Structure 1
Amino acid sequence: MKIRFGYVANAIGLWDASPSKTLTFTRYSTLPKNERMEKLKFVTAQNLHHTKRILYYNIAHEIELYRFSSSLVPLATHPEVMWDFLTPFKKEWEEIGSIVQHFKLRVSFHPDQFTLFTSPREEVTINAVKNMEYHYRMLQAMNALDTGLINIHIGGAYGDKNNAINRFHHNLKKLPKEIKKHMTLENDDKTYDVRETLITCEKENIPMVLDYHHYMANTGESDLPLYLQRIFCTWNNFNIVPKVHISSPKSDQSYRSHADLVSLDFVLPFLKMAKELDKDFDVMIEAKQKNLAMQKLVEEIATIRGVKRISSSSVEW
């Protein structure tokens, strides 16, 4: 069983390398009209440049798994802005894509919690489609659609889970099919547990990303060993190994919050459970210390008897 590890957005230790620099609509509105587009392009150029720096850092450290920041382009989906963020940066998008392809990196996006398809309000669904299109267009501009995925949660329950799930299936029909082919669904820490998310994924033929921390916070009636094989099987039609999210609680009082690092004791039961399936999978670390937390966890896992470290960010067990 081979496990690769990756992290989210920022590389801790790279100086001034945030790929998530922002421009709020309030700030945008106060700028003279002839300066607004220039400012949008300036911030976007910074984010794309820093993304390239991070990718080269990842390559130097043999990290093949990376989640792009969803904030690469400020105000990309704001109804009063909606600017062309592809044409002015055609070269930059292609450069990022060439790095991804040449080094065979596995990349993804994770839109915010407002990208949901369970709302009874039509405008929420419309905005969800717009946000998915925004992320899809970035992957397309990078020519990274072969392996690039967009991960979201099912959404809210609005007081009636059955109706909300039915709305999810209905509203998801509004998402273009070519975008749906690149989406994944993740169980969450409050509402839709592993079983509910898995059934939804199976019905829609969408791969499921298991979030182990969320599972521990919201087990519902799920017994994970009974479902893990089925979760991994949702990836069978996509020619890519399953992906799992791992983090650990900040504290007993802030159980749903992510800690700075990942506790091996917390995640070891899951790793042993996965070992029984003996199937390769990838792990996205969602700790506050990003790449540093990932590297520390890999080092600790590599000390387990029977585990062999095969690169800076991967092990065989």
Structure 2
Amino acid sequence: MKIRFGYVASALGLWDASPSKILTFTRYSKLSKHERMEKLKSITAQNLQHTKRILYYNIAHEIDLYRFSSSLVPLATHPEVMWDFITPFKNEWEEIGNIVQNFKLRVSFHPNQFTLFTSQREEVTINAVKDMEYHYKMLKAMNALDTGLINIHIGGAYGDKIKSINRFHQNLQKLPVEIKKHMTLENDDKTYDVRETLITCEKENIPMILDYHHYMANNVESDLPLYLPRIFETWNNVNNIPKVHISSPKSEQAYRSHADFVTLDFVLPFLKMAKELNQDFDIMIEAKQKNLAMHRLVDEIASIRGVKRISSSSVEW
């Protein structure tokens, strides 16, 4: 069993390298028409440049797994802005894509919690489609559609899970097929548990990302060993191995919040469970300390008897 590790958005330790610099609509509204476009382009250029720096950091540290920031483009989906963020940066998107392809990086996006398909309000679904289109356009501009993924949650329950899941299936039909092909679903820490998410993924033929921390926080049933093979099987129809999200609780009182680092004792039961399946998979670290948390966890896992470290960010067990 081989496991590769990655992290989300920012490489801590790189000076002034945030790929998520923003421009609020309030600030945007106060600018002149010319200044507005200049500001949008300036911030986007910074975010793309910082993303390239982070990718080169990943290459230097043999990190094959990376989640792009969803905030690369300010106000990209705001109804009063909706600007062309592809054409002015055609070369930059292609350069990022070339890095991804040349070094065979596995990249993804994770839109925010408002990108959901269970709402009774049509405008929420319309906005969800727009947000998925935004992320899809970035992957396409980078020519990273072969393996690039967009991960979301099912959404809210609105007092009736059965009706809400039915609505999910209905509303998802409004998402263009070519975008749905790059979509994954993840179990929640409060609402839709592993079983409910898995069944939804199987019905829609969508790969499922297991979030182990969410599972521990929202564990109605304790049958993860029963579901894990089926979760991994949802990846059979896509050109990639399964992916798992890992983090640790901040505290018992703030159990759902992510800690700075990942505690080995917290995730070891899952790793031992996965080992029984002898299935290669990738782990996305969602700790607050980003790449630093990833490096520490890889060090700790590599020290386990029987585990062989095969690169800076991958192990074989």
What TM-score does the superposition give when structure 1 sets the normalisation length? Answer: 1.00
Instruction: Check whether the contact 2:146–2:239 (CA below 8 A) recurs between aligned residues.
Output: no
1:186 to 2:183 alignment: no
Indicate the SS of the match to 1:6.
Answer: strand
C-alpha separation in 2, matches of 1:239 and 1:137: 20
**Equivalent position of 1:153 in the other structure:** 153
Q: CA shift at 1:32, angstroms?
A: 1.5
- With 152-161 and 26-35 compared, the bigger mean Cα shift is at 26-35
Correspondences of 1:242-281 after superposition (within 5 Å): 242-281=242-281
C-alpha separation in 1, matches of 2:180 and 2:50: 29
Q: Deviations over 1:224-258 (max 9, x none)?
A: 00100000000001121000000000000000000
Instruction: Check whether the contact 2:24–2:75 (CA below 8 A) recurs between aligned residues.
Output: yes
**Equivalent position of 2:299 in the other structure:** 299
Q: Kindly, what percent of the aligned residue pairs are identical?
A: 86
Instruction: Check whether the contact 2:262–2:293 (CA below 8 A) recurs between aligned residues.
Output: yes
1:289 to 2:289 alignment: yes
C-alpha separation in 1, matches of 2:306 and 2:222: 29
Q: Deviations over 1:87-113 (max 9, x none)?
A: 000000000000000000000000000
Q: Deviations over 1:255-289 (max 9, x none)?
A: 00000000000000000000000000000000000
Indicate the SS of the match to 2:123.
Answer: helix
Correspondences of 1:63-102 after superposition (within 5 Å): 63-102=63-102
Indicate the SS of the match to 1:115.
Answer: coil
C-alpha separation in 2, matches of 1:156 and 1:305: 43
1:108 to 2:113 alignment: no
Instruction: Check whether the contact 1:194–1:222 (CA below 8 A) recurs between aligned residues.
Output: no
What TM-score does the superposition give when structure 2 sets the normalisation length? Answer: 1.00
C-alpha separation in 1, matches of 2:223 and 2:13: 39
C-alpha separation in 2, matches of 1:108 and 1:57: 17
Correspondences of 1:2-21 after superposition (within 5 Å): 2-21=2-21
Instruction: Check whether the contact 2:264–2:300 (CA below 8 A) recurs between aligned residues.
Output: yes
Instruction: Check whether the contact 1:201–1:207 (CA below 8 A) recurs between aligned residues.
Output: yes
**What amino acid sits opposite 1:129 in the alignment?**
V
Q: CA shift at 1:221, angstroms?
A: 2.3
C-alpha separation in 1, matches of 2:303 and 2:58: 23
**Equivalent position of 2:140 in the other structure:** 140
Q: CA shift at 1:222, angstroms?
A: 4.6
**Equivalent position of 2:207 in the other structure:** 207
- RMSD across aligned positions (CA): 0.4
**What amino acid sits opposite 1:11 in the alignment?**
A
How many pairs does the alignment contain? 317
**Equivalent position of 1:54 in the other structure:** 54
Instruction: Check whether the contact 1:193–1:222 (CA below 8 A) recurs between aligned residues.
Output: no
Instruction: Check whether the contact 1:111–1:151 (CA below 8 A) recurs between aligned residues.
Output: yes
**What amino acid sits opposite 1:202 in the alignment?**
E
5+ long unaligned stretches in structure 2: none
5+ long unaligned stretches in structure 1: none
Q: Deviations over 1:21-53 (max 9, x none)?
A: 000000000112221000000000000000000
Indicate the SS of the match to 1:5.
Answer: strand
Q: CA shift at 1:176, angstroms?
A: 0.1
Indicate the SS of the match to 2:237.
Answer: helix
C-alpha separation in 2, matches of 1:153 and 1:33: 37
**Equivalent position of 1:124 in the other structure:** 124
